[in-house]
């Protein structure tokens, strides 16, 4: 059953990247992250009560609570970096780098969770890294001279991957002994607080009024798909090994690339297509 949840997580995550890209197009990325997290939080708690997964806070161990808080902080940091990268760069460039968190997650799962590490997994990791390098090659798109010199998206995308891998391990540890829906809702609350703290520290709260109707629609939709993705993802993590759940989730890149081509008219070069094939092949090898 956890495989189905991991697959569902990938499908919703793929849609989220495109919806968020459109939503942050004319909106400050930090403000957009804070706004969409409200939607994710409401959706997460709704699912807690619908599934009768609520647990009194005094029944949650201190260790689990701290792990959920740390997981939320890591998630918030990953989101802030990811959506800033999406705002500055192409989806087809940002997403592959974000997916390299798979490799780091596997290494961390081996070191801290005692999960297996074998030859097929090593081959898969090499395929993912090689594919990513090919996919971030410059593509045949029309960009301004300023965009050509702006590589900040790369830094933000790398940071997003690092924090995402930390999120997976902390989330796996923090979900022990509590319903996955409840754990997701608690950590989403941490993400919301962190996102708004960043907004107020940078004095961007006034920009909320500047968010257009179209941006609101896509931010809300991306919040809903994120909530669905999270609920599926952490249910899968609770029941299955992180070293397998994470690679399945990262296959969302196929959905993202497809949607980017249809809705954003972003094209892949032949070299990038080869990279995508290697990335997906590497991910599939990890599932052997």
- Break the chain into its structural domains and give their ranges: 2-286
Q: For position 137, what pLDDT does the model report?
A: 56
Q: For position 77, what pLDDT does the model report?
A: 93
Q: For position 149, what pLDDT does the model report?
A: 52
Q: For position 67, what pLDDT does the model report?
A: 92
Q: For position 143, what pLDDT does the model report?
A: 46
In this prediction, the residues of the chain whose per-residue pLDDT falls under 50 are 139-147
Q: For position 89, what pLDDT does the model report?
A: 84
The Cα 75–Cα 163 span in angstroms is: 7
The Cα 31–Cα 270 span in angstroms is: 36
Extract the tokens encoding 120. 């097929």
Q: For position 139, what pLDDT does the model report?
A: 44
Instruction: Please give the model's pTM, rounded to 2 decimal places.
Output: 0.74
- Residues with Cβ within 8 Å of residue 219, at least 6 apart in sequence: 19, 20, 23, 24, 27, 32, 35, 36, 39, 211
């Amino acid at each position: 059953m956890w495989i189905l949840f991991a697959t569902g997580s990938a499908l919703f995550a793929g849609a989220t990247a495109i919806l968020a890209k459109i939503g942050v197009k004319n909106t400050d990325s930090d403000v957009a992250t804070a706004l969409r997290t409200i939607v994710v939080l409401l959706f997460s708690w709704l699912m807690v009560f619908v599934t009768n997964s609520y647990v009194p806070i005094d029944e949650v161990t201190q260790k689990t609570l701290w792990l959920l808080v740390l997981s939320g902080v890591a998630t918030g940091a990953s989101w802030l970096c990811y959506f800033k990268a999406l705002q500055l760069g192409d989806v087809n460039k940002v997403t592959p780098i974000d997916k390299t968190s798979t490799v780091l997650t596997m290494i961390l799962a081996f070191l801290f969770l005692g999960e297996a590490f074998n030859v097929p997994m090593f081959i898969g990791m090499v395929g993912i890294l090689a594919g990513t390098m090919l996919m971030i090659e410059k593509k045949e798109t029309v960009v301004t001279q300023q965009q050509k010199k702006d590589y900040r998206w790369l830094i933000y995308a790398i940071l997003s991957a690092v924090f995402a891998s930390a999120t997976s391990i902390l989330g796996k540890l923090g979900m022990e002994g509590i319903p996955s829906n409840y754990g997701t809702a608690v950590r989403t609350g941490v993400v919301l607080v962190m996102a708004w703290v960043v907004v107020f520290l940078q004095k961007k709260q006034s920009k909320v009024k500047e968010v257009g109707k179209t941006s609101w629609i896509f931010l809300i939709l991306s919040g809903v798909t994120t909530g669905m993705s999270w609920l599926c993802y952490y249910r899968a993590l609770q029941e299955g090994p992180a070293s397998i759940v994470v690679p399945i989730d990262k296959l969302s890149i196929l959905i993202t690339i497809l949607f980017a081509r249809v809705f954003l008219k972003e094209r892949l070069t032949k070299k990038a297509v080869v990279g995508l094939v290697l990335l997906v092949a590497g991910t599939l090898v990890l599932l052997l």
